[in-house]
């Protein structure tokens, strides 16, 4: 699929970046899920992944003080550290996995995460060290494998009776860490060049504005609506993964 000739590729990328950043500000995740396939219409898909990672890195420090204060740091920090350490394993797995099998695994993971979110929340459940470790490992592997750390992290927080502000901040803290790990890995692999850096810099103002608007909207919606939006996003990710598998 390509864009109609009448559509300006940069304006298209700018608009889609703004929308994806607004979703990030509202939900705490979803920017890469939305942005990577859309940017892939105007640049190479591998470049789209790197641009999405860089934009996540650039926006990560914005509001980091409040994010850290609101997050459940007892779980978010260990998950973030483990995810960063596991990211190179995901890159290695991607390099040794056949493309068709890789797409199948990504689709299964995305659908599995969506089904987990649909299960009833666990009242008073406190995750043990094993669950924290497995979530971090899965998030890191998926960062390197598909630039998609969300599927294991989102159910970890949404299946517990945590206030949305805590869940959102915890996810944002983890995804900033995975963006750092993803960027370092991309640099090590030689995937970051001046053209990608320039495009990321040009798109970043749209990220700032979109993220600000999404964050403002976050405080105006009810908890059930917020959880529904997050669940729908995971469902869209699963459907997109299945469609990609079938094409």
Rounded to a whole number, what is the distance in angstroms from the first to the last CA of the chain? Answer: 11
pLDDT (tens digit per residue) in 118-165: 666 666 566 788 999 999 999 998 888 777 788 888 888 888 878 889
Domain locations along the chain = 9-246
Does this model's pTM top 0.95? My answer is no
* Residue position matching structure tokens 């971090």: 136
Is the Cα torsion angle 216, 221, 226, 232 positive or negative in sign? negative
- What sections of 97-218 are H helices per DSSP? 99-118, 129-146, 150-158, 164-188, 194-218
Distance of CA 171 to the CA centre of its chain: 9
Give Cα separations from 112 to 19, 23, 151, 156 (angstroms): 25, 21, 8, 12
* Residue position matching structure tokens 């979703």: 23
pLDDT (tens digit per residue) in 39-81: 877 887 778 888 988 999 999 999 899 999 999 999 999 999 9
Residue 146 host element (H or E): helix 129-146
């Amino acid at each position: 699929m390509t864009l109609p000739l009448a559509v300006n590729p940069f304006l298209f990328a700018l608009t889609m970046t703004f929308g994806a950043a607004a979703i990030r500000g509202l939900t705490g995740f979803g920017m890469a899920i939305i942005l990577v396939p859309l940017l892939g219409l105007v640049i190479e898909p591998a470049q789209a992944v790197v641009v999405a990672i860089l934009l996540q890195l650039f926006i990560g420090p914005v509001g980091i003080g409040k994010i850290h204060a609101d997050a459940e740091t007892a779980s978010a920090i260990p998950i973030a550290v483990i995810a960063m350490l596991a990211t190179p394993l995901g890159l290695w797995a991607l390099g040794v996995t056949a493309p068709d099998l890789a797409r199948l695994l990504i689709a299964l993971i995305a659908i599995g995460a969506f089904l987990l979110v649909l299960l009833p929340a666990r009242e008073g459940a406190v995750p043990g060290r094993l669950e924290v470790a497995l979530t971090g490992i899965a998030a890191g592997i998926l960062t390197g494998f598909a630039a998609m750390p969300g599927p294991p992290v989102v159910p970890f927080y949404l299946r517990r009776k945590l206030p949305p502000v805590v869940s959102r901040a915890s996810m944002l803290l983890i995804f900033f860490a995975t963006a750092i790990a993803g960027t370092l890995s991309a640099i090590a692999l030689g995937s970051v060049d001046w053209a990608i850096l320039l495009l990321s810099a040009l798109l970043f103002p749209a990220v700032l504005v979109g993220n600000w608007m999404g964050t403002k909207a976050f405080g105006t919606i009810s908890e059930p609506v917020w959880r529904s939006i997050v669940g729908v996003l995971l469902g869209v990710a699963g459907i997109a993964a299945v469609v990609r598998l079938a094409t």
